[in-house]
Amino acid sequence: MRKYSSLVMVFLITFMAFSGCAKKQAGVVGEVIDISVSKAPENVVKYLWAFKTKPADSRLDPRDFLPSDDAEAVSFVPDVSGKYEVIVALVDINGKETNEIFVFEVTVPEGTPSAGQVVVPERVVKPEPDKTAAAVAPAKKEEAAAATKAPESESWKSAPTPSAEQKSAPRPQTSQPAPAKASKDAVSIPKKDGSFTIQVASFKTYNQALGVADQLKGKGFDAYVQRAYFKESDQIWYRVRVGSFAKKAEATEVIRSIVAQFPKFPIPWTDVTREDY
């Protein structure tokens, strides 16, 4: 009898352990993950989605579930790599609640910048050619080279041609954009008219922000740069923003398109439209 009882106990412990485990699924930063309930009980009247666990650097919350956090099936876009556990509570007409958990192991594609970094193309300015070279006789090549060479006392010199090894070396990061989510200082910037807009990135210099805005405009997005002064920290940032929307859902649809066309950008987010400040 004891032997039988022991076997039953082992079976129950094993069943409880495995019944609480959710199968891990793979995901990629910046790509949409779709989730639907595997087998819903009868008479379900409410679905409540939430992140049970997520990476420490992730800025997602239940408001980032699409189309909403109470839909029968949802989607979300992971903003950093790591483990995400999504839980849904299914409530029936009697108020009884059952849960289902989904686990996603999200990675960053090779060659993709870390979250919060934007690749801004450099604008190469070529120096004007020295007109004195045209006046030198072609036959006297050595004299022509001497005539076009800048004196040693001048502060500007043309850069030497980089070697193949120098060309292949990675360029250092020259500036870090502001965090994707608004800081606490942002509450001091007055709202405009109750509409919504999309923030893509924020920079300390106007030229960096303009470079990203130009990339977005090139793909047909209504991008603009807005100056923001944070009086709490006495700092000025230049925000890259897209569009003006009457409803948050409209902005969410455009965010999907931005993420699809610019996978190396940080994950955009929705904010209320604010005054220039």
pLDDT per position as a tens digit, 71-90: 888 899 999 999 999 999 98
pLDDT at residue number 129: 57
For the cut 60, the answer to whether the pLDDT of residue 224 exceeds it is yes
Task: Confirm whether 197 is domain-assigned.
Answer: yes
Closest of 155, 164, 175 to residue 238, by C-alpha: 175
The whole domain housing 244 covers: 187-274
User: Of 73, 107, 141, which residue sits at a domain end?
Assistant: 107
pLDDT at residue number 69: 77
Give the mean model confidence (pLDDT) for residues 96-100.
90
For the cut 90, the answer to whether the pLDDT of residue 66 exceeds it is no
pLDDT at residue number 37: 87
Classify residue 29 by its DSSP letter: T
Task: Confirm whether 50 is domain-assigned.
Answer: yes
Q: CA 37, 62, 94, 23 torsion: positive or negative?
A: positive
Can you say whether residue 82 is alpha, beta or left, with left for phi > 0 and alpha for psi between -120 and 50 degrees? left
User: Of 66, 92, 107, which residue sits at a domain end?
Assistant: 107
pLDDT in tens, 248-277: 999 999 999 999 999 988 889 898 888 776
Task: Confirm whether 112 is domain-assigned.
Answer: no
CATH of the domain at 82: 2.60.40.10
Task: Confirm whether 210 is domain-assigned.
Answer: yes
Task: Confirm whether 216 is domain-assigned.
Answer: yes
3-state secondary structure of 236: strand
User: Of 107, 123, 143, which residue sits at a domain end?
Assistant: 107
Average pLDDT, the chain: 75
Domain count, the chain: 2
Give the mean model confidence (pLDDT) for residues 157-178.
54
For the entire predicted model, the pTM comes to 0.38
Task: Confirm whether 13 is domain-assigned.
Answer: no
Angle at the Cα of 37 from the Cα atoms of 35 and 40, rounded to 5 degrees: 170
Higher-scoring residue by pLDDT: 181, 160? 160
Give the mean model confidence (pLDDT) for residues 118-127.
45
CATH of the domain at 242: 3.30.70.1070
